[in-house]
Amino acid sequence: MEYPATFTLQVKKAQNLRYGENPQQTAAFYVEKDIDEPCVSNTIQLQGKELSFNNIIDLDAAIETVKEFEQSAAVIIKHTNPCGAALADSPLTAYLKARECDPLSAFGGIVGFNREVDAATAKELTSTFLEAVIAPGYSDEALEIFTAKKNVRVMLAPLLGEYIQSGYDLKKVVGGLLVQGRDLGMINAIDCKVVTERTPSASEYDALDFAWRICKHVKSNAIVFTSRDQTIGIGAGQMSRVDSSRIAVQKALLPIKGSVLASDAFFPFRDGVDAAAEAGVTAIIQPGGSMRDEEVIKAANEHGIAMIFTGMRHFRH
The fold of the 189-309 domain, in CATH, is: Cytidine Deaminase; domain 2 (3.40.140)
CA angle 28/34/37 to nearest 5° reads 90
CATH code of the region 11-156: 3.40.140.20
Cα gap 298→292, rounded to integer Å = 10
Q: For residue range 164-194, list pLDDT tens digits in order.
A: 888 899 999 999 999 999 999 999 999 999 9
Three-state secondary structure readout of 92-126? HHHHHHHHHHCHHHHCCCEEEECCCECHHHHHHHC
Per-domain residue ranges of the chain: 11-156, 189-309
Cα gap 305→163, rounded to integer Å = 38
- 47-61, 159-173, 206-220: least confidently modelled range: 159-173
Which residue, among 42, 51, 47, has the nearest Cα to 18 in the 3D structure?
51
Q: Do domains 11-156 and 189-309 have the same CATH topology?
A: yes
What does the pLDDT read at residue 242?
85
On the question of pLDDT at 91 being above 70, the answer is: yes
| Band (14; pLDDT cuts 50, 70, 90) | very high
Q: How many residues does the chain have?
A: 317
Average pLDDT of every residue of the chain = 95
- Other CB atoms within a 10 A radius of the CB of residue 15 amount to 13
Q: For residue range 115-141, list pLDDT tens digits in order.
A: 999 999 999 999 999 999 999 999 999
